[in-house]
Amino acid sequence: MAPLGLTLYHLAARREAVVREARPERPRGRLIWLHAPGADHLRGLCELAQRIQDEDGHPILITAPMQADGLHGVIWQPVPGDGQAEVRAFLDHWQPAAILFAGGELRPAMMHEAASRHVPMALVEAAAPHLPKGREGWFPGLIKATLALAGDVFVLDEMAARAMRKAGGKATVAGRMEEPSAVLPCNEPERAALARLLATRPVWLAADVPEAEESALIEAHRAGLRLAHRLLLIVVPQDPARAEAMAARMEADEGWLVARRSLEQEPEAETEVFIVDSAEYGLWYRLSPVTFLGGSLSGTGCLRNPMEAAALGSALVHGPRPGLHGMAFGRLGAARAARSVASSADLSEALGELLAPDRAARLAQAAWTVVSDGVDVTDRVLVLVRRMLGEA
């Protein structure tokens, strides 16, 4: 007999419009369905999907509110509704061999129907359990009964574990899965040549800098030069068309010697600013012990994934505007693996501190740990998937 809460949940769903989505043909094989309720969990599931495909060859279906870039061979579908008719049509079509739900969102109709079909399910990167947005209500015992259907529950942290257990579920603290590789490539002979040219000079990078932050950048570099007269700023303008005007301003107002990569100029010993209006970030992160992430201070928000610089050993400085990377900045901040600044004066101060190689190295090491921690979690989830399929 269905729990009272589930019955009431089904009755509430009948008042909602049913959305019929066109579905592509189901591929052959034991299909694994990965569900992300939002962008925060999509990256980790994408990396898991690639691992499953590369190592085990199973077809993958990902449902999420948005599509992910760069996925090959993975089927994406919008999030299905959680009414009985939609759920049955979805499962009839896709016939998943195993299901992973990321986050703490529970889908009672889907999970109970899947359980009736003996499809193994698990929760990963789970937080406090809750019903889908717009489906909240008084459904006695529903969350506890739904949690009981999940074979394993991997939660993000101890706080999530307490919330999960309080709701009547089990919990294993695992953490967040690995995101798609943030290690950007570069031309190694070119990196080696530039490294020889720069020798022992202190270097910092300002990545993706909008016009609104140019004054703060100049102020910080001016302060940095007072502490280290051989300091080199490598700057990537957000708009490559700003390179000429930026160079002219720095030369006229500050008297700095500016080189531009687009003019095939090199950062010679006397060069104080190197404007690289070609965004070879894999090269610049490798050459720069310190990186300021442009757009995060007074722009519209950071456009670069901070994990890119972290993966290549560059200490991170950023402003209060994370853009689309709030989750990544949150992880770095919790690990004290990035320096947050709120003003141009703060940026100058942070740069001055990080010109000390030991301080920059400690910050970069902490960031690298954040980047690499997720690999072990993904490995555990991959073993879990194989066990759900009876392959481990």
Report the pLDDT value the prediction gives residue 260, as an integer from 0 to 100. 96
Report the pLDDT value the prediction gives residue 325, as an integer from 0 to 100. 86
> Where are the domains positioned within the chain?
10-179+374-388, 188-355
Kindly give the pairing relationship between strand 98-102 and strand 32-35.
parallel
Same fold for the domain at 10-179+374-388 and the one at 188-355? yes
Query: 105, 125 in Cβ contact below 8 A?
Result: no
Report the pLDDT value the prediction gives residue 112, as an integer from 0 to 100. 93
Q: How many whole angstroms from its chain centre is CA 145? A: 32
Report the pLDDT value the prediction gives residue 141, as an integer from 0 to 100. 79
Report the pLDDT value the prediction gives residue 299, as an integer from 0 to 100. 79
The residue whose two tokens read 């700023």 is 233
Report the pLDDT value the prediction gives residue 330, as an integer from 0 to 100. 87
Classify domain 188-355 by CATH number. Answer: 3.40.50.2000
Choosing among 1.10.3720.10, 3.30.360.10, 1.10.730.10, 3.40.50.11720, the CATH entry for 10-179+374-388 is: 3.40.50.11720
Report the pLDDT value the prediction gives residue 2, as an integer from 0 to 100. 61
Q: Kindly give the parts of the chain with pLDDT less than 70.
A: 1-2, 14-21, 70, 134, 136-138, 180-182, 392
Report the pLDDT value the prediction gives residue 373, as an integer from 0 to 100. 77
The residue whose two tokens read 């999960």 is 164
CA 126 – CA 103 distance, rounded (Å)? 4
The residue whose two tokens read 């574990």 is 161
Report the pLDDT value the prediction gives residue 20, as an integer from 0 to 100. 63
Report the pLDDT value the prediction gives residue 244, as an integer from 0 to 100. 95
Query: Which tens digit of pLDDT belongs to each residue from 145-195?
Result: 999 999 999 999 899 999 999 989 999 999 888 776 667 899 999 999 999
